[in-house]
Chain A
Amino acid sequence: MNTNYLPSGFLPIVVQFVLALGFIVVTMIVTHNIGPSRKGKVKDDPFECGIEVVGDARTPISVKYFLVAILFVLFDVEVIFMYPWAVNFKKLGMFGFVEMVLFMSLLLAGFYYIIRKGVLKWEE
């Protein structure tokens, strides 16, 4: 296989890149200018089935959702470590077992910590 590339060899890629970019830019400019557009207060309002808009779309959400979500990701991802261990269980032997027990105990310590901290109590 030829592994010696010259800068000129990349020219087709550059051409392709420029064409792709050009197409997008040209289309956007052209559509923007060709189509008729009418602006007005009513016209710019968001449409919600005829109901008038109330308040801001960005309402604050309780931080508990985020906490639970992040904890889920944390423990979920950490459990992934179990799979390679399970696959290589025999090969890793006692060493792997001790390491895994250590890992799990750390994980459990964390779990105990969040319970004691009351993170999982929804009703507060």
Chain B
Amino acid sequence: MPVTLLVLIPLLPLIGFLINGIGFRHIPKGAVGLIGSLAALGSFAASVAVLLAFKEGGSQPMIVSLFDWIKVGELNIPFSFQVDQLSLLMLMIITGVGSLIHIYSIGYMKHDPGFGKFFSFLNLFLFFMLLLVLGSNYVIMFIGWEGVGLCSYLLIGFWNKNTDFNNAARKAFIMNRIGDLGFLLGIFTIIHAFGSVEYTEVFRQATGLPVGDHVVFAITMLLFVGAMGKSAQIPLYTWLPDAMAGPTPVSALIHAATMVTAGIYMVIRSNVLYTLAPETLEIVAVVGAVTAIFAASIGLLQNDIKKVLAYSTVSQLGYMFLGLGVMAYSASMFHVITHAFFKALLFLGAGSVIHAMSDEQDIRFMGGLRKKLPITFITFAVATWAIAGLPPFAGFFSKDEILAHAFEHNKLLWGIGVLGSALTSFYMFRLLFLTFFGSFRGTHEQEHHLHESPAAMTIPLVILALLSAVGGFIGVPEALGGTHQLAEFMSPLFDTARQVNPEAFAATALTHSEEWILMAVSVAVALIAAVIAYVMYISRSAVPAPESEARTGVENVVYHKYYIDELYDTVFVKPMKSLSGVLSSFGEFVIDLFVEGTGKLVKGLSNLGRQTQTGSIGYYVFAMVVGIVVILFWNLLLN
């Protein structure tokens, strides 16, 4: 495999960053977009080439050592890249979706004065993300991990004139730091336990340990804390909805398709360790499932188009962790891939809507956009269909695979998953209907200004829509008469894990008919939810409060005609809404209380501590003497 090609993958975005960063304000806008996008596209081309070479070379995982990095005592950390099925898949997502989003940004950010800065940050993000997935040890992963966090911070606060946005950026950064704390501790525990940070070496040593080893439990838990922060799981998820303050392409790239899936990547990468720690997996599954339903229920009530998508992302990430928790590693990866397609598409579609609506993000002021933005509408509808888990689009296959594994593992988790799936379908269709159907509810100026986005924005939409539609066919389950190409491709990754815990990887015990039933159930549930949304928001033309009070006579008739709606309303929707309200207000309140309380505590302590600094020498000397006396007393008399 050509090493140069491999090095080019992260190097091109770095070069793009340097050119655009140093030449900021000096390079013309056209060139900036071209350089930034070419860097991403070149990286994508190199990734494809590497993938082809990998397949040609018999799919043998390999480690390409670039140079000796650090050698401290026994610990030797080389700077090397690992090319295997996992890193290749991540490469394809990052560079592929990344390129599309770069191209999209040329149109979306055209009028922004910080155009060059934006592209340089975006390229820098790609660089760190590629480092994260390419590195062959935990230290490189950590550097990429911190780097993407930094870029995310810079990009969330990109429109830094607004203090709220700055606070959102800082919140994201600090919450991520809490996660990183766990990650870092995990790395040091790994060093302590295995004396190495190289994946191959760590996993080789780990195979000698028994299932349920305490050290491995600690390591996996600590790593999972890191994953919780980065992938926005309860309780470290509140930064992600706030992070929507950043420009929409950023939300699509960082907060939907790539960075937030880093936690899933990490767990899959460490699958040997996780397989050795069933207790951790149990926790991962529960956290994932709870996050999935919790975030989905909050999504029901949101009126900001990007907020809905943000909660949806949190919820989908929850599904991925649920999949990891039930050891459906390749299913989770499958969902990472399909989610990257349809969630990026949703965000970009939302961006297109916001662009057309002159920066309006509230869906209560939209409506009827399908005529004015046909391409955006069609692609958005495809993505909605996909995320709702309806066949034959991508989301159906990946979500069903996770749910099938969850069913095998624990019926309750499956139930939660299915319920979450219903909620997902409901809020996504609600979003679709409120935005694109009905009549326009914005101002006249906005209505006048409505237009379909330029080609630079719609072409990525179309490509992503195609991928969302057919992307699922890489993993058609056997029960539907297909072959699961993805699972076969990824299978070598889990050889070591299979070796340490063979029964965990036993072939599925479900019969085909059982699988069909499971699929039917989740599809039916999603369909019903979609129909409810249809009834509520199209037939009834309900618009979330406060507009709902001002119904016309016609609507009132419609309202009464569908008497059954009220039944739905009282039986299903109202309790759900109130639950959602309670969860979003109380749940987030508790979490914010915890997180911000920590901040307040530190500040309070700081203020207290500050007062010890009186400025009087006598006091200082006294404090010193007390210190000395305590030290001497403690050591000489008590010891």
Direct contact of A and B (CB under 8 A): no
B interface residues (Cβ-Cβ under 8 A, vs A):
none
